[in-house]
Amino acid sequence: LITHQMEVIKEICDSVIVMEEGIIKEAGDVINIFSRPKEPITKRFLSSIFNTEKINSYLENISVKQNEKIIKLSYVGNNTEEAYISRVSREYNIDASILFGNIEIIKETPIGNLVIKLGGDEKNIIDSIEYLNKNQIYVEVLKNGRKII
């Protein structure tokens, strides 16, 4: 099946190949590609599902102080049910403001995305990001502090 509609892929495919100008940019299991896209072309295709354009527009107006970072969290399966943000806030003494969040069900597997602003001591923020990564939550510090793509 060849399509540009990621909605179709999410509903009927088990694996996906993303191509650009005849070159394979990304290939793999739909869950892995949708939860952790690596290539800009893949992120652009997925923006229709995860409302990336609206998020970027919203984030352009968010102020970021010296001691703050805006990060995107991507999590899959049972991780969507855990209270990681509460734990990080308490254990690392940081403030966590949720700016945007969504969960999509793909092949009966929940895939979640959160964009949050972390504030506090730089070391505590770094430690909290490491904690999230160790718990299979993909953390991306957004480009320029704001952009998802």
Select from 122, 32, 149, 129 the least CA-distant residue to 71.
129
Per residue in 36-79, pLDDT tens? 888 988 888 877 777 677 777 778 878 888 889 999 898 888 77
Per residue in 101-134, pLDDT tens? 888 888 888 888 889 999 999 999 999 999 999 9
- Say which residues have a Cβ less than 8 Å from residue 41's Cβ, sequence separation at least 6: 18, 20, 25, 26
**Band of pLDDT at residue 143, cut at 50, 70 and 90:** low
Which pLDDT value is given to residue 79? Answer: 74
User: Taking the model in full, what pTM does it have?
Assistant: 0.76
Tell me the domains of the chain and their CATH numbers.
Answer: 6-50 (no CATH), 54-141 (3.30.70.260)
Which pLDDT value is given to residue 29? Answer: 92
Q: Mean pLDDT, the chain, as a whole number?
A: 85
